[in-house]
Amino acid sequence: MSDEQQPDLQWGPLEQRPQRRGRVWVIVGAAVAALVLVGALLFFLLPRGEDSPRPEVSTTPSPSASVTEEPTPGSTAGPEPSMTPVTTPPPVPDPSVDAFRDQVRGWLDDALTGIDIVSASSGQEALGVVETLEDDVQRLSETPAPSSIQSEWSEALGDYAESLTALRAVVSDGSGTAASVESARASAEKLRAVVGL
């Protein structure tokens, strides 16, 4: 090959690619907005904890659920369900007594401490402590107990709640609280004994 036939190569600046950062940010922004929208829909549409009523599971078959519609002559589609299926959450496993004890220990320890404070105080201070103990009773009643101690636990918790109601009444009246304090303490100790404290 002669020198005349060789191409003349020269170095020059390469063409710059158009910047696509703006497009990338638009795509990322749209994806984030979609995730936020889906999260908000799930938050408002899905049942949450104890606030929403749980659908009850029926052990007997529902007549409307078991009946299938016959297709009309000439129709090609199969039978359509007559009702929207209800999804029920899986049953909560029965906790062990040890796990339940650990779960309620703080509230049961606070019960004895609170009753001691009420016995040593009066007026608004004592009333505030009784209200806190009543709030703890509500939390205890919302905590599912093992089936092995369910009956005994419910009875003892009911007695403790009644003793706090009586204690609140005498604290509000300003009358002697000694007998009501001892009754509440005995009920709290009985409740603690149910879970082995």
Q: Structural domain boundaries of the chain?
A: 97-194
How would DSSP label each residue in 105-146?
HHHHHHHHHHHHHHHH--HHHHHHHHHHHHHHHHHHHHSPPP
Whether the CB-CB separation of 54 and 89 falls below 8 Å is answered with yes
Residues in the chain: 197
CATH code that applies to domain 97-194: 1.20.120
Backbone phi and psi for residue 179, each to the nearest 5 degrees, phi listed first: -65, -40
Inter-axis angle of helices 150-173 and 178-194, nearest 10: 160
The amino acid at 121: S
pLDDT in the model for residue 189: 92
Q: Kindly state the average pLDDT of the residues 4-25.
A: 62
List pLDDT tens digits, range 46-86.
Answer: 766 555 455 555 555 554 444 455 555 555 555 555 566 66
Residue 128 has pLDDT above 60, yes or no: yes
Distant-in-sequence, close-in-space partners of 71: CB < 8 Å, separation ≥ 6: 77, 78, 79
List pLDDT tens digits, range 180-193.
889 999 999 998 89
What is the rounded average pLDDT for all residues in the chain?
Answer: 76
pLDDT of residue 159: 92
Lowest mean pLDDT among 57-61, 94-98, 166-170, 187-191: 57-61
pTM reported for the whole predicted model: 0.52
Rg (CA), the chain: 34
